[in-house]
């Protein structure tokens, strides 16, 4: 995926989110650190343009909610939730790549620690399959077939790279 295709995928996802949530004053986008928060910012801007209003967004660190935390020493980063609570909000959770589902499971646990959302919808830029948990995204930029030992690398301008997705 090059920059043009990534932008088109994000435009389409923003339109789909709007179609499902138009006019919802309790909508908030929350990106999983590190690349999901950058994608959430881009989607919030696109959605804000479509809705003609500012769409709140936050960033979520899931390091302490991962089920492999005993195997690694987690790098804990900040979580930013506008207003401090997600109670009664419609949360659109954003991540770059969906693989086993374990990152999403950890993110759901982390989100619940900030209140009880009305609903949670999931956006992923890339769905590469190979689920270990029964979790599926609501919005997908691109589905790619990968081998389990492949790596999907998402590069973003926010990280000083050219927007792209590469399979290695």
pLDDT tens track for 92-143? 999 999 999 999 999 999 999 999 999 999 999 999 999 999 999 999 999 9
**CATH number where 25 lies:** 3.40.50.2020
Q: At residue 68, does pLDDT exceed 90?
A: no
Backbone angles phi, psi at 46, to 5 degrees: -65, -45
- The predicted structure's pLDDT at residue 66: 83
| Mean predicted confidence (pLDDT) in 150-168 | 97
The whole domain housing 118 covers: 3-167
Q: Are strands 164-167 and 139-143 parallel, antiparallel or unpaired?
A: unpaired
- The predicted structure's pLDDT at residue 29: 98
Closest CA to 165 of 154, 149, 151: 154
Q: How many domains does the chain have?
A: 1
With beta carbons less than 8 A apart as the criterion, state whether 100 and 130 touch. Answer: yes
Q: At residue 69, does pLDDT exceed 70?
A: no
- The predicted structure's pLDDT at residue 78: 86
The residue written with tokens 């950058």 in the block is: 38
Q: Provide, rounded to the nearest whole percent, the portion of the chain with pLDDT above 70.
A: 96
- What rounded mean pLDDT belongs to the chain? 95
Q: Are strands 152-155 and 164-167 parallel, antiparallel or unpaired?
A: antiparallel
């Amino acid at each position: 995926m090059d920059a043009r295709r990534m932008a088109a995928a994000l435009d389409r996802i923003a339109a789909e989110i709007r179609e499902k949530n138009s006019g919802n004053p309790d909508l908030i986008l929350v990106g999983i650190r590190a690349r999901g928060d950058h994608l959430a910012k881009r989607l919030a801007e696109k959605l804000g343009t479509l809705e003609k209003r500012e769409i709140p967004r936050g960033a979520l660190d899931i390091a302490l909610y991962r089920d492999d935390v005993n195997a690694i020493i987690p790098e804990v980063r900040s979580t930013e939730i506008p207003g401090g609570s997600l109670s009664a909000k419609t949360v659109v959770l954003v991540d770059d790549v969906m693989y086993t589902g374990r990152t999403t499971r950890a993110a759901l646990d982390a989100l619940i620690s900030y209140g009880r959302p009305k609903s949670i919808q999931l956006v992923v830029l890339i769905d590469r399959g190979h689920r270990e948990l029964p979790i599926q995204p609501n919005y997908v930029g691109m589905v790619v077939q990968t081998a389990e030992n492949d790596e999907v690398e998402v590069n973003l301008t926010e990280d000083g790279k050219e927007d792209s997705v590469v399979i290695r």
